[in-house]
Amino acid sequence: MSRTTLSKFKKKALTKVSVKKEYEALSPAYKLRKKLIALRQKAGLTQEQIATVLHTQKSNISRLENANSTNSPKLSTIEEYAQAVGYEVEIKFIPTQKNT
């Protein structure tokens, strides 16, 4: 094992991570979390304040906003969060270009 091999490995790993992040950025779940945080900050609320309104804990709000990609919240959870920051949810379906 040379130092070159190690640095190659690191480089490869980092590339994978960045690719993964880019990929996740496109997912609806990722966009959703970004939106949730933006709406909360726009409303001037802390996670703890939202937690109080929804009768839960701030740790759970943090988890909702930062859930890793393997988790997927329930629609009702998103709706409740939205209500707490003064919004309601609409689900839109956008056609994908399957056949060229």
> Where do contacts with a second copy occur on this chain (CB under 8 A)?
28-29, 31-32, 35, 39, 72-79, 82-83, 86-96, 98
Q: How far is the CB of 60 from a second copy (least distance, A)?
A: 16
- Rounded to whole angstroms, the Cα distance separating 80 from 88 reads 9
Residue from 57, 83, 86, 89 touching DNA (CB under 7 A): that is: 57
Cα–Cα nearest to 82, from 48, 25, 38: 38
7 vs 59, which CB is nearer to DNA?
Answer: 59
Residue from 76, 96, 97, 100 touching DNA (CB under 7 A): that is: 76
* Rounded (5°) CA angle 74-80-86: 140
Interaction between residue 28 and DNA (CB under 7 A): no
CB atoms within 10 A of CB 64: 22
Q: For the chain, how big is the Rg over CA atoms in Å?
A: 19
77 vs 87, which CB is nearer to DNA?
Answer: 77
Element (H, E) at 48: helix 47-53
Question: Which residues of the chain form contacts with DNA (CB under 7 A)?
Answer: 46-48, 54-60, 62-67, 70-74, 76-77
